[in-house]
Amino acid sequence: MQNTSTAPSPAIKTATAGAALLCVLSMSSVQFGAALSAPTMASYGSLSTTWLRLSWAAVVLAVLVRPRLFSYSRAHWMAACALGAAMAGMTMCFFAALQRIPLGLAVAIEFLGPLTVATLSVRRLRALLWPVLAIAGVVLLSREHGGWIGEPVGVLLASCAALGWGSYIVLMKKTGTLFAGLEGLSVSLLAAALVATPIGLAQNGGHVALAQIAATAGLALLVPLLPYALEMIALRHLPAASFGILMSVEPAIGALAGFVVLHQPMGSLQIAGMLLVVTASVGAVVSAR
């Protein structure tokens, strides 16, 4: 009897591999962008700096994409505004957490969002191996000298960022299918900038320094403009579950960026955690192909 099962075509395999590469580039941009933004946030505050980054990204992408704002249906606007709110909440909570806990730990906690998305979508018991390995790596990244790293407020903010990141994955997938090209991302970034505006202005009493505006222009390219664009393209070729598990490499990149840029120490437990999350990420991608 002839086997009727069909293996993925070479084109599908190439698209999946390309999407995985885009995810790695996105994660690298986020983590090194977060590390490089530390001096600006220390000088002007994380909330106002994050608001300006979102605003710069929204303006630049709107100029490049020129979204057809008057042609969208109610469903388009609801999806884009929901994604924008998730973007604003995730980004502001994450960068606020960075002022209180190490970068590697903040990313490790935030990763619980995509890990939840990935785990809820698993249909085969053996596929749970990759989330289990990833969460074990996250735990190791969170330990140092026999104790847990970080203060409670920073951990709470990173947990809120995790909720935002999980919502972001689901909403980005939906928005990417509704809109053509990067129009959905452009509208969502405009919504994110508007949501963040009152919070960002309140931090410095409505005063925005020219030096801060200039500094955030370059930072906005690394986070959020480039990673959001790469992830929207990647999610058109990857299931949300595969994308969520693939994000397991981000805590490792975060720990590496914290070590290289911010000189935050990495002990044997952090190195072991990095190896576990990279293994989980590679295993998830290979299993999905």
Name the token pair of 250: 């981000």
Q: What pLDDT shows up at residue 259?
A: 87
Q: How confident is the model at residue 7 (pLDDT cuts 50, 70, 90)?
A: low
9 within some domain? no
CA proximity to 188, closest of 203, 199, 202, 172: 172
Number of domains in the chain: 1
**What does the pLDDT average to over 127-146?**
80
6 within some domain? no
pTM more than 0.85:
no
**Distance separating alpha carbons of residues 227 and 139, to the nearest angstrom:** 25
Encode pLDDT of 95-116 as tens digits: 999 999 988 888 888 888 887 8
SS3 71: helix
**Distance separating alpha carbons of residues 231 and 173, to the nearest angstrom:** 9
What is the residue-averaged pLDDT of the chain? 87
DSSP H helices, the chain, are 10-36, 38-44, 46-65, 74-98, 103-110, 112-120, 129-141, 152-178, 183-203, 210-220, 226-235, 240-246, 250-260, 268-288
DSSP state, 5?
Answer: -
**What does the pLDDT average to over 126-155?**
80
30 within some domain? yes
2 within some domain? no
Show the domain range for 118: 19-288
159 within some domain? yes
124 within some domain? yes
10 within some domain? no
